[in-house]
Structure 1
Amino acid sequence: MSALPVFVDVDTGVDDAMALVYLFASEEAEVVGIASSAGNVAVQQVCQNNLALLDLCSVDVPVSKGSASPLTAPLRTAEDTHGPEGMGYAQLPATARGLTEYDAAQAWVRAAQEHPGELIGVATGPLTNLALALRSEPALPRLLRRLVIMGGAFDYRGNTTPVAEWNISVDPEAAAEVFEAWGSGTASGLPIVLGLNLTENIAMMPELMGRLAAEAGSSTRPMSAQDPRGTRSSASNPLIAVLEDAMRFYFEYHFAHNEGYLAHLHDPLAAAVALDPDLVECRRTTVDVELTGTLTRGMTIADWSNLWAREPNALVGVDVDPAAFFDRFIARVGAFAKSSLGEQA
């Protein structure tokens, strides 16, 4: 079976990087484009992270620069969560790769037009680029085969405000435009939306990182909450070393916020579901985004009881098997690291 064309919009970002590596490691996926979104860090840093990851993984994919700011609000970034360059403690190699001459919104449209009815879109950052793409090509919902969005929190607490999730909160207007576009009844299929209520079940822990290193055939020192902050990876495999250094910062952030020495892999779950929607159970509903509430701006609301009497515009993830996800993630990324990068000399 031929590989599925996949277009990814990311604000890389520790877990975005893990999602990209998962897609590179999946034989059924052909990543045909990467859109860089301002979010976890500024858009130029996101571009550099994406280009450097391609070098590290020896993969060739066009990378396009997205909007430097949300549609209307000033940009907020999350260096406290992802590190000053977005990759935790990891130091990515310098790269001479360049960006496309066209921007990320154009990249969305080009990819959809080149693969009509076949393209799978994955959005793991703010939805600014996708909203701009929809403004230039309103037929985009009909052109995509599938869209997976990591964003929102449904009947669940937020991680940016008490009710709002990060990606939606950074650009609520863009998210509202995207959900509206898929609510017209003309889309080829409803987007799969994975909120915090689902993705926080996907908790990466030191023992799982140890399994990943073993799968890659890499020697490494086990990660522990007792390690001094900023301890660098001893992994012999260069990709595993980068992932461990990135994840350690993420672990420390969650530990400092009393969530345990772990990290939620929000974005890799979206990547996995893009290739296999059966990994999650979803409910069909209508989703909208609060734009004006003093306390609730950026909140995602699902009309489970159809009180709005509007067309459904989303399949909201409500259940997932974390063990099944991690078995697949570790097998794929471990084999990819082993075969593509091997041991350092």
Structure 2
Amino acid sequence: MSQVRRVVVDTDTGIDDAHTLLYLAGRPDAEIVAISSVFGNCLEEDATRNIGYVTRLLGLEVPIARGAAEPIAGVAHIAGYVHGKDGLGDRGYDRPLPEVTGESGAELLVRLAHERPGELDLLALGPLTNLGLALRIDPELFTRYRSVVLMGGSGPYAEPGTLLMIDANVNNDPEAARAVFAAPRNELVMVGVNVTAGTILDERAIAALRAAPGSRARFAVEILETYLDFYQNEWGRRIIPLHDPLAAGILLDPAFATAWTDGPVNVVTDGFLARARLMRTVDGLPPAFPHEPAPPTRVVTNVDATRFVADFVEVLSR
């Protein structure tokens, strides 16, 4: 077994975030150390309630901190139309607020990094607001984490004529994202929509989860329905992309990423949406306009989706 990764999870606990917590808890090479909430897939309070529900299901007792309820600047865009108003598909689960540490999400991220420098990995699954606020407390924060892996970004500039899914986590707080990509770090890994959108939990994989025994697989399938309702409008099939779980998979097993590029990432906008982009074209050239210098980010550009999906289903089916 590979070395255990001790993971601090920052999450806007929607459906694929909950799947990610199930996946991490089922991997013998992962230990969830603490969890902070943030707005995004649902309101921050619902994200916290969902953390409590999932950790109780898992029998997991870890520190939980309530994080940002809105972006550093601008207006929050809550994705209730994707994840249900409560973030877990509006299934009517009993979701009391869990016991929390009393510190903010940003303060939790800073405290743990100072208490255990070089030991922890930070996995960011939602808007980057808590990370941006934490960097205001400690600008060297990311140098104290073993690595920071985030689900967000859009990779390098795409092939002309190609459209990508919205980079929702960056678009929800571009100011925080700019701070994250500019900060000094040991290792920052961007797992963006350029690779997550094609990592598909298809009908066969969903059927395997439905057939699996146990409360974890049953819960994973229960919360899928609202997600499937949304994504059927994209592809005409009741299938979903594994956005957040893929980021966790790459944190634990970097070989799931079969190609990447290290380079500067900028947050750019077309006046409508903000995206985090590697400042490279599909041909590996700099973009045709000036961009800001930044420390290198490891930007994943291709993944072994088949192997990851098989692993995800196997872990949740145990």
Same fold, judged at TM 0.5 (above)? yes
Q: Does 1:300 align with 2:298?
A: no
Question: What is the aligned partner in structure 2 of residue 284 from structure 1?
Answer: 262
Q: Does 1:197 align with 2:203?
A: no
Separation of aligned partners in 1, 2:294 and 2:109: 25
Separation of aligned partners in 1, 2:254 and 2:50: 28
Q: Structure 2: which amino acid aligns with 1:264?
A: P
Question: What is the aligned partner in structure 1 of residue 22 from structure 2?
Answer: 21
Separation of aligned partners in 1, 2:237 and 2:66: 35
Question: What is the aligned partner in structure 2 of residue 221 from structure 1?
Answer: none
- Pick one of 186, 189, 192 that aligns with 1:188: 186
Q: Does 1:12 align with 2:13?
A: yes
Question: What is the aligned partner in structure 2 of residue 151 from structure 1?
Answer: 152
**Counterpart secondary structure, 2:274:** coil
Query: Percent identity among equivalent residues?
Result: 31
Using the TM superposition, give the Cα deviation of residue 98 of structure 1 relative to its aligned residue in structure 2, in angstroms: 1.1
Aligned partners of 1:287 and 1:302 also within 8 Å: yes
When residues 129 and 96 of structure 1 are mapped into structure 2, their CA distance, relative to the original with a 3 A threshold, is closer
Using the TM superposition, give the Cα deviation of residue 159 of structure 1 relative to its aligned residue in structure 2, in angstroms: 3.0
Aligned partners of 1:148 and 1:274 also within 8 Å: yes
Separation of aligned partners in 2, 1:94 and 1:174: 29
Alignment of 1:15-94 (within 5 A): 15-94=16-95
Aligned partners of 1:5 and 1:29 also within 8 Å: yes
Alignment of 1:242-321 (within 5 A): 242-280=219-257, 281-290=259-268, 293-295=270-272, 297-304=273-280, 305-306=285-286, 308=291, 310-321=293-304
**Counterpart secondary structure, 1:67:** coil
When residues 93 and 284 of structure 1 are mapped into structure 2, their CA distance, relative to the original with a 3 A threshold, is same
Where do 5+ consecutive residues of structure 1 fail to align?
219-236, 336-345
Separation of aligned partners in 1, 2:236 and 2:203: 14
Question: What is the aligned partner in structure 2 of residue 167 from structure 1?
Answer: 169
**Counterpart secondary structure, 2:75:** coil
Where do 5+ consecutive residues of structure 2 fail to align?
none
Separation of aligned partners in 2, 1:173 and 1:96: 29
Separation of aligned partners in 1, 2:265 and 2:110: 24
Q: Report the TM-score, using the length of structure 2 for normalisation.
A: 0.90
Using the TM superposition, give the Cα deviation of residue 306 of structure 1 relative to its aligned residue in structure 2, in angstroms: 4.8
Q: Structure 2: which amino acid aligns with 1:167?
A: N
RMSD: 1.9
Using the TM superposition, give the Cα deviation of residue 256 of structure 1 relative to its aligned residue in structure 2, in angstroms: 2.7
Using the TM superposition, give the Cα deviation of residue 302 of structure 1 relative to its aligned residue in structure 2, in angstroms: 1.6
Separation of aligned partners in 2, 1:254 and 1:71: 29
Using the TM superposition, give the Cα deviation of residue 141 of structure 1 relative to its aligned residue in structure 2, in angstroms: 1.7
Aligned partners of 1:90 and 1:243 also within 8 Å: no
Question: What is the aligned partner in structure 2 of residue 241 from structure 1?
Answer: 218
Using the TM superposition, give the Cα deviation of residue 257 of structure 1 relative to its aligned residue in structure 2, in angstroms: 3.6
Aligned partners of 2:19 and 2:245 also within 8 Å: yes
Using the TM superposition, give the Cα deviation of residue 158 of structure 1 relative to its aligned residue in structure 2, in angstroms: 4.0
Separation of aligned partners in 2, 1:33 and 1:325: 24
Question: What is the aligned partner in structure 2 of residue 208 from structure 1?
Answer: 205
Question: What is the aligned partner in structure 2 of residue 117 from structure 1?
Answer: 118
**Counterpart secondary structure, 1:210:** helix
Using the TM superposition, give the Cα deviation of residue 265 of structure 1 relative to its aligned residue in structure 2, in angstroms: 0.8
When residues 309 and 136 of structure 1 are mapped into structure 2, their CA distance, relative to the original with a 3 A threshold, is closer
Question: Number of paired residues?
Answer: 304
